[in-house]
């Protein structure tokens, strides 16, 4: 009977288990790519779906050069015809920057204790330049129409590009020594995030970049119908040798752009929220401008004026000042202001004309930039000149430069000024000192002659870079601290209160010594007179008044009558004025004196 019941219960349990197993769906895993071919730099969408059981996040095996980036997970619970299905979907962006055939190995799962795995997947990554839409798959919007924001042939330009514009865009050549102003612009898609990792750098060997603005401008601009965030620098490019060289610039940046290729086109509804869920691809890129062959020409030797000193650009004489009255052999100062645009660094002061009538000396100059890149501006010159010929003369300033736009030299001359030079004509160069610099330096294109006197040897390393400098500073600090400490001691020593106290102590000691001598000699009046003086010294310091002015009446008025001081004072007065010249000095008087002094000592100190 019992066995029959147990058998029925067991059979019922088995029936329930079998029924539950039939009713529950089996666990499944699935992995699929939304495309099997992508271009380098773009991504495909990998979807991994786990249904019918619980499992952790899939661990996708690493594949060399293949980037697999989790974009999100989506748990779902579905009930259909009374059957409930639980599933989790993981989405990954998969791509590579290196073309090739890749295989994503099988992904293994443990779902409710059951070992499951997906099928291996293949992904072909094409070179971006050679990419063609695979048959049956619509063209990659990121490659052909990259998010609708890039030019069709941009390739990696979906991350941005760099443009360089010469100010004189019509001219395809430059001259040695010329600084050609350029505008450099980095263009990034408006919906991207960009972070610059370097400054603008020249790519070639033959050119250098100058005066690049430290704070680039940021604007939004539309180019070819697309909107970009544009970072703009201003600078100058120059070449130091003649020839034909490729010139381009580059800048490094990290750019994150929306990967529209990773979004499932079927999920795009045209809603403005579509792009919110589009994953981004971040890439470290080097934006490089297009190579431009720039011909660098040497400055022509033909037609070069004698006064040409290397200025290249476009200039004019704005202001000038030549004194009216001169004396031969005596220098005076001349001023000139030249403005324009060009290489001010290689510009020298204008020359006095006629050159043979003058001897000029190098002076000083002051450049005032007119723009952020220091191409335009003005330079003020001050230099000294000495007339060599006497009499009435005409003087003017002449300035020669090379105009790269015209490809020719130009000489500017200021209006002629009539001047009067006193004194005799000087046949040879006068050995006058240069008033501006203190030395006899001739302004000439040739070198100043060598020195003939051997100067004393000296250290090239400045004192500040030597240990002696620190030692001197430390020593001076020690001196300073020692001075402060000594001053503190001196001021303390010279304090009048301390000096008065010391004098009082000395007088008290002397009075007590005399009292002791009187006591030994049996001189009672002398003992009391000396002892009273000692007490007066203490009271004088205490009450801040002369000791001799303290009387018994004042003591009685300020000190209780039964105090040792008052009692001793009273006794001392009695013995002093009682005309008793002899007698015995009782021990209690000495004791009373000691008590009096002890009661005052504490107060005084």
Partner 1 sequence: MNKNLLSFLFHILLGSPAVMAADTACFAEANARFKAGDFAVAATAYETLLANGGPRASVFYNLGNSYHRLGQYGPAILAYERARLLTPRDPDLLANLALARKAAAAFEETVVHPRLDALICYPSRNEWSWLVAGAALFVGGLALVCGLVNLPRRGMRQAALASAGLASLAIAAGSACLYLRRDESNRGIVLSENAAVHLSPFETAASLGTPGPGRIVHMRKESGGFHYVEVPGTTLRGWLPDKEVGAITPSKDGK
Residues 420-449 that bind partner 1 (CB under 8 A): 434, 437-441, 443, 445, 447-449
Interface mask toward partner 1 for 487-516; x: CB under 8 A: xx-x---x----------------------
Interface mask toward partner 1 for 5-24; x: CB under 8 A: --------------------
168 close to 180: Cβ distance less than 8 angstroms? yes
Residue 165 makes CB contacts below 8 A (sequence gap 6+) with 182, 183, 185
CB of 302 to partner 1, least distance (A): 20
158 close to 141: Cβ distance less than 8 angstroms? no
Dist. CA 158–CA 257, nearest whole Å: 8
Dist. CA 550–CA 559, nearest whole Å: 12
Residues numbered 125 to 184 that lie near partner 1 (CB under 8 A) are 176-177
Residues numbered 180 to 209 that lie near partner 1 (CB under 8 A) are 198-202, 204-209
Interface mask toward partner 1 for 456-475; x: CB under 8 A: xxxxxxxxxx---x--xx-x
DSSP-derived secondary structure letter, 159: G
**Per the omega criterion (within 30 degrees of 0), is the bond before 543 cis?**
no
Residues numbered 289 to 328 that lie near partner 1 (CB under 8 A) are 309-310
CB of 166 to partner 1, least distance (A): 17
CB of 361 to partner 1, least distance (A): 9
Q: Count interface residues toward partner 1 (CB under 8 A).
A: 72
CB of 77 to partner 1, least distance (A): 57
Assess 452 for contact with partner 1 (CB under 8 A). Answer: yes
CB of 360 to partner 1, least distance (A): 12
Q: Which is nearer to partner 1, 248 or 280 (CB)?
A: 248
Q: Which is nearer to partner 1, 50 or 312 (CB)?
A: 312
Dist. CA 196–CA 201, nearest whole Å: 12
Please identify which residue in 59, 453, 562, 584 interacts with partner 1, judged by CB under 8 A.
453
Please identify which residue in 29, 48, 116, 212 interacts with partner 1, judged by CB under 8 A.
212
CB of 292 to partner 1, least distance (A): 16
Q: Which is nearer to partner 1, 467 or 546 (CB)?
A: 467
Interface mask toward partner 1 for 330-359; x: CB under 8 A: ---------------xx-x-----------
Q: Taking the CA of residue 218 as centre, how many other CA atoms within 13 Å lie in the half-sphere pointing to its CB?
A: 8
Backbone angles phi, psi at 571, to 5 degrees: -65, -40
Q: Which is nearer to partner 1, 1 or 460 (CB)?
A: 460
- Give the burial class of 184: count Cβ atoms within 10 A of its Cβ; 0-12 exposed, 13-18 middle, 19 or more buried: buried
CB of 363 to partner 1, least distance (A): 11
Query: Which residue, among 151, 224, 207, 213, has the nearest Cα to 185 in the 3D structure?
Result: 213
Query: Which residue, among 359, 366, 365, has the nearest Cα to 384 in the 3D structure?
Result: 359
CB of 396 to partner 1, least distance (A): 24
Q: Which is nearer to partner 1, 211 or 268 (CB)?
A: 211
Residues numbered 219 to 248 that lie near partner 1 (CB under 8 A) are 240-241
Residue 427 makes CB contacts below 8 A (sequence gap 6+) with none
CA 54 distance to own-chain centroid: 54
CB of 598 to partner 1, least distance (A): 37
- Give the burial class of 447: count Cβ atoms within 10 A of its Cβ; 0-12 exposed, 13-18 middle, 19 or more buried: exposed
CA 287, 288, 289: angle at the middle one, nearest 5?
A: 130
68 close to 94: Cβ distance less than 8 angstroms? yes
Q: Taking the CA of residue 544 as centre, how many other CA atoms within 13 Å lie in the half-sphere pointing to its CB?
A: 3
């Amino acid at each position: 009977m019992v066995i029959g019941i147990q058998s029925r219960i067991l059979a019922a349990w088995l029936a329930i288990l079998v029924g539950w197993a039939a009713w529950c769906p089996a666990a499944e895993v699935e992995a699929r790519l939304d495309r099997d071919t992508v271009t380098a730099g773009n991504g495909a969408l990998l979807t991994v779906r786990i249904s019918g059981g619980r499992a952790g996040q899939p661990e996708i095996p690493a594949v060399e050069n293949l980037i697999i980036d989790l974009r999100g997970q989506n748990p779902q619970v579905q009930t259909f015809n009374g059957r409930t299905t639980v599933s989790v979907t993981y989405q990954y962006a998969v791509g590579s920057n290196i073309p090739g055939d890749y295989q994503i190995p099988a992904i293994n799962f443990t779902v409710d204790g059951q070992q499951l795995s997906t099928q291996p997947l293949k992904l072909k990554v094409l070179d971006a330049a050679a990419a063609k839409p695979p048959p049956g798959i619509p063209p990659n919007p990121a490659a052909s129409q990259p998010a609708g924001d890039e030019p069709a042939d941009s390739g990696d330009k979906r991350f941005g590009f760099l443009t360089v514009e010469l100010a004189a865009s019509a001219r395809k050549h430059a001259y040695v020594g010329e600084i050609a102003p350029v505008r450099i612009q980095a263009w990034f898609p408006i919906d991207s995030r960009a972070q610059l990792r370097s400054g603008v750098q020249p790519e070639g060997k033959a050119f250098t970049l100058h005066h690049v603005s430290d704070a680039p401008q940021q604007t939004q601009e539309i180019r070819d119908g697309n909107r970009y965030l544009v970072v703009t620098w201003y600078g100058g490019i120059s070449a130091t040798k003649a020839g034909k060289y490729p010139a381009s610039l580059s800048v490094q940046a990290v750019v994150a752009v929306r990967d529209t290729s990773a979004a499932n086109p079927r999920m795009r509804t045209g809603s403005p929220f579509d792009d919110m869920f589009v994953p981004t691809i971040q890439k470290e890129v080097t934006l490089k401008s297009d190579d431009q062959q720039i011909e660098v020409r040497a400055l022509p030797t033909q037609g070069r004026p004698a006064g040409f000193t290397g200025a290249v650009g476009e200039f004019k004489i704005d202001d000038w000042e030549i004194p009216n009255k001169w004396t031969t052999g005596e220098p005076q100062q001349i001023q000139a202001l030249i403005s324009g645009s060009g290489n001010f660094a290689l510009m020298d002061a204008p020359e006095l004309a006629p050159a043979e009538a003058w001897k000029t000396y190098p002076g000083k100059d002051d450049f005032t930039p007119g723009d952020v890149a220091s191409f335009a501006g003005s330079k003020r010159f001050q230099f000294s000149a000495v007339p060599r010929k006497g009499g009435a003369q005409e003087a003017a300033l002449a300035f020669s430069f090379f105009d790269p736009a015209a490809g020719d030299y130009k000489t500017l001359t200021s209006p002629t000024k009539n001047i009067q030079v006193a004194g005799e004509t000087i046949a040879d160069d006068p050995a006058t000192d240069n008033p501006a610099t203190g030395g006899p330096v001739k302004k000439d294109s040739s070198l100043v002659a060598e020195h003939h006197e051997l100067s004393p040897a000296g250290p090239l390393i400045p004192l500040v870079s030597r240990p002696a400098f620190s030692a001197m500073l430390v020593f001076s600090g020690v001196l300073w601290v020692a001075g402060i400490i000594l001053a503190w001691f001196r001021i303390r020593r010279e304090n009048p209160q301390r000096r008065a106290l010391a004098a009082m102590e000395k007088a008290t000691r002397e009075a007590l010594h005399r009292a002791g001598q009187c006591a030994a000699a049996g001189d009672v009046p002398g003992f009391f007179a000396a002892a009273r003086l000692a007490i007066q010294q203490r009271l004088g310091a205490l009450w801040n008044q002369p000791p001799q002015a303290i009387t018994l009446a004042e003591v009685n008025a300020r000190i209780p009558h039964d105090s040792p001081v008052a009692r001793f004072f009273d006794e001392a007065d009695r013995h002093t004025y009682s005309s008793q010249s002899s007698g015995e000095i009782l021990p209690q008087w000495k004791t009373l004196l000691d008590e009096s002094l002890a009661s005052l000592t504490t107060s005084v100190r």
